[in-house]
């Protein structure tokens, strides 16, 4: 709270849940794109992205190169913030609250506490209530989503399996979250206590989901989306919007593919539009089948 003594003073509150969750509401129906340079950020903005995710290496490269993956260099994040007028998000490692403090001080608009980076804490996630900047977190199921919301996440994304171009895990996570919500909404009230225990989620949130039939925050999808049709399918499965990571800048024609995915997201229920924008995009990212990735290297299994 701060009050201007001079005139016409207005008392304002920053960092409230409403302001954090409201920011995600404004991104709905849009595409958020992974970028590693200011030039890529400009391409994303020109294509109609609603935000960019600044990171050092896209998930496909993290996978290929291995090693510990961390928050990006502040100079690189500054460069991207300078380059575009749309919101800029950046990733912090799971549990790494100091990386998050740094990202907040850089003025990023959203922090992704992300399994794509190497976790910094295998027990605790970041206490996100301590921050003014809002957080998005990944989830593979409803219980995980609710635990993140309980820790202060203002937006959820289904995880998928990042850096693969294989959309099957994203599909599975969206369907799982959707069906678990539907199941809760159909339960008699006196069975919600056990449902909360089974979901390993706070009872109050479980009760709220059962009553409203939806998450209290925006639900995007991520992980393996590589084509306009992938994005449109996620929207038809009930996602509020789409994150595209390696799928754009690991493809043959990033600018056109990015614009096509934006259009397919908006017109996700119109196959004529999706067909039209899918033409002539060149090579999609080559991709890896999730099944071929050894269990310890599956990113979506990080976080709990």
Q: Interface with other proteins includes 280 (CB under 8 A)?
A: no
Tokens representing 198 are 């089974």
Per the annotation, does 246 bind a ligand?
A: yes
CA 77 to chain centre: 18
Q: Is 91 in the active site?
A: yes
In whole angstroms, the minimum distance from the beta carbon of 190 to other proteins comes to 30
Using CB under 8 A as the binding criterion, the count of chain residues that bind other proteins stands at 50
Rounded-to-integer distance, Cα 135 and Cα 113, Å: 7
In whole angstroms, the minimum distance from the beta carbon of 14 to other proteins comes to 5
In whole angstroms, the minimum distance from the beta carbon of 238 to other proteins comes to 12
Residue listed under structure tokens 């409403």: 18
CB of 93 within 8 A of CB of 70? yes
Rounded-to-integer distance, Cα 86 and Cα 81, Å: 9
The binder of other proteins chosen from 124, 130, 132, 212 (CB under 8 A): 132
Tokens representing 268 are 């996700």
In whole angstroms, the minimum distance from the beta carbon of 41 to other proteins comes to 11
Whole-number Cα distances in Å, 20 to 11, 97, 140, 153: 18, 18, 22, 9
Phi first, then psi, for residue 225 (nearest 5°) are -80, 120
Taking the least distance from each CB to other proteins, the nearer of 232 and 288 is 232
The binder of other proteins chosen from 35, 36, 43, 58 (CB under 8 A): 43
Residues annotated within a binding site: 34, 163, 175, 224, 245-246
Residues in contact with other proteins by CB under 8 A are 2-4, 6-16, 18-19, 22-23, 25-30, 42-43, 45-51, 84-87, 104, 107-110, 132-134, 259, 262-263, 266-267
């Amino acid at each position: 709270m701060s009050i201007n003594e001079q005139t016409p003073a207005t008392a304002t509150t920053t960092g409230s849940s409403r302001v954090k969750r409201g920011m995600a509401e404004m991104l709905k129906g849009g595409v958020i794109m992974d970028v590693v340079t200011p030039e890529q950020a400009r391409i994303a903005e020109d294509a109609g992205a609603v935000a960019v995710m600044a990171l050092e290496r896209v998930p496909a490269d993290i996978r290929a190169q291995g090693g510990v993956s961390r928050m990006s260099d502040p100079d690189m994040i500054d460069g991207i913030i300078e380059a575009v007028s749309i919101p800029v998000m950046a990733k912090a490692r799971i549990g790494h609250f100091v990386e998050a403090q740094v990202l907040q001080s850089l003025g990023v608009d959203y922090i992704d506490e992300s399994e794509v980076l190497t976790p910094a804490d295998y027990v605790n996630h970041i206490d996100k209530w301590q921050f003014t900047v809002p957080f998005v977190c990944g989830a593979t199921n409803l219980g995980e989503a609710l635990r993140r919301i309980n820790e202060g996440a203002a937006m959820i994304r289904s995880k998928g399996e990042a850096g693969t171009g294989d959309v099957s895990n994203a599909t599975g996570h969206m369907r799982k979250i959707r069906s678990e919500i539907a199941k809760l909404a159909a339960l008699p009230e006196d069975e919600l206590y056990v449902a909360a225990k089974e979901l390993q989620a706070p009872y109050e949130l479980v009760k709220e989901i059962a009553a409203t039939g939806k998450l209290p925050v925006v639900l995007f999808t991520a992980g393996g989306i590589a084509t306009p049709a992938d994005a449109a399918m996620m929207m038809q499965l009930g996602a509020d919007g789409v994150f595209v990571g390696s799928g754009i800048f690991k493809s043959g024609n990033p600018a056109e593919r990015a614009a096509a995915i934006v259009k397919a997201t908006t017109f996700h229920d119109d196959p004529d539009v999706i067909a039209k924008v899918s033409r002539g995009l060149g090579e999609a990212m080559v991709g890896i089948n999730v099944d071929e990735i050894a269990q310890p290297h599956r990113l979506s299994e990080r976080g709990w």
